[in-house]
Structure 1
Amino acid sequence: MDTWVAQAVSKISADSHRSADTHLFKLLVPRLEGIDIYLKDESTHPTGSLKHRLARSLFLYALCNGKITEGTTVIEASSGSTAVSEAYFARMIGVPFIAVIPKSTAQSKIEQIELYGGQTHFVDSAPQMHAASVELANSIGGYFMDQFTYAERATDWRGNNNIAESIFRQMEFEPYPIPKMLVMSAGTGGTSATLGRYIRYKGHDTELTVVDPENSVFYESYISGDTSLTSNKSSRIEGIGRPEVELSFQPDVIDQMIKVPDAASVATILWLEKLIGRKAGASTGTNLWGTLSIAKRMMERGEQGSIVTLMCDSGQRYLDTYYRPEWVSEHIGDTSLYEAELNDWL
């Protein structure tokens, strides 16, 4: 192997060994009876989100496949969090990084990309990211990382401390150690693919629910089986939802999908803050709304068990958007009906 590549792989692997596992904490919801909800807190990674795991895997995959060598400029299409994490690893191994992101991306994410030495290339909306990334990579001789294609194959879904193995290991001493349900939203579809494959590989009696925001075609594609669906709209929930069915999305390992209104996602993170005193990103709200919906149905059927979902990133990145009432009113709409329903849980 090329000496530079070997050193780059070693640096990224060392980062993994330095990182402690993320916490899994129990959500104490007063009205829940016989059902335990857990949040896997991915906001504690060095770059602040679930995408730290993905970026590490994508870099190792590209390095070991000969796609990145010394001096290669890495380009990624991202709504922000993946770009932040990839900028971190690009700086670590000393290669230039350019993020192709929508103009609507939270300013805090843009600042973090630049903090890690990355550059930004703006497009008007999410549907334009892929083509712009391909064009940019071709024009400068760079490498397009393409998370939406490679996310599902870059991670070792059999184990090796992936997120699925981590969840099941951390659940071992809980009252219901084998979760009834894992709940995850889809951006690339890579994490849901890892979770679904691991459940089957280990033979766990666990189902996988994938939740989807508005302006995303994953849900409709799952229901109809049509993988050619597209949309000309961008997801308003940063980090999840796509205007086309990405190659990393693996519907065959999903047991059910739930469509979650964007106003419900935002209402849920405001409710969560009341419950735990911490802010989370809106994709966490999508996850948790779906989780509470499942818990409600389980209670109505007299079922007991545990449900695990993810806190994808911190809400500190979204203080100027999801946590600003004026912005929510203009871009998301009225959340009061969902807030009232959530407050019933308290």
Structure 2
Amino acid sequence: MALSWNIRLKRKSWFRFVVPIIVLGLLCYGTWAYCHKLCYEQVDKKLHHRSVAVGLICVVCFLDIVVIFIWFQMVLWIGPGIQPQVAPFLIVPVTSKELTSDDSQNASVEYDAVIPPKCYQSDPNGYPIWCSPCQSLKMERSHHSSELGHCIPRFDHYCVWIGTIIGRDNYRPFVQFTGYFSSLLLIMWVSICVFIRNITQHHHNHNSPLNANVFLTLAFAIFGWLFTTSMLASNIFYMCQNKTYLEAIMDSKRKNFGTRKIFCYYSEANKLRFVVEFERTEFHSFWSKKTIFANIKDFMGPNMLMWLIPFGKPLSFSCKSNDKGRPFRSGERTTLAEILGPYEEFLSDYTIQAIEDKISKGNYLATLRASGDVINPD
């Protein structure tokens, strides 16, 4: 009889830094071996190319500083982002009766609720997805992190190599990290290959042993370059489609989860909400914009200069929730755009058209009337 074990190991707070520390150690070792054993001892002292050696040392050390600085930004400063707390949508009138000191009779007190957007991801009954740990609605493309204790906007993946989750805020630094790291390793292994023939010939003529650190650095640099370049290429590929890495996995037919997506859509023509379901075979570009350039801007930001400059701040927004993240009551009607700010996600024109086509053909799960749809958000 086969026993099935489902063991969940919780990462300690320090454990996520083990692999990054190993990577940092290899980076420091490779930099030392490259600068001292190759550039100084070989290129400068034996091959007499001092200007080339100094130039390579400066470039490699500069890129080292840039890579480490970006890592500190992603992990210790910016982070993946925190989805603002979103109160329940105004699907049905939400009231409670409370006894006040000024009035002996029951008074109707209206809780804060958010005017539902035109389209949102829902369950088969048309109700939005609720995150119990956060006591908040879970917005599109957001996923809860048990490690961090909150929902991550536009959750991409957990990167064990840098020890943090990649989300909406630190996605651009992550792409910059892979790009600069790939460039650093490319310079290292290409320059080693350029001088390796002269170095081996010099050692053969002088009957001296070769330094193993140079060849070990060459192996590490080639392996690391292939790995970081493949990550960079996959990031660019998914950005062009406006997909996260997690969405690409969920859309894959090789996986058993994420078999459908359900949206609750308000039809202005019918003055009614329709619950529409998409099967896995219908998964396409739910979030893709009209052009590839627009998709890349959605991930990297509107300022193209900042795509290359490895310095940036997290998205700023105004969140109407208290520090502890408990449900709030303000007595006013708010829209989702006011709460989410730059974290708001928009479905592609293709998806909206596909939803309307399903409605026109009568291919929907349910209909409902939301109380908030009659409120003018303006």
TM (normalized to structure 2)?
A: 0.27
Higher relative contact order (CA 8 A, sep 6+): 2
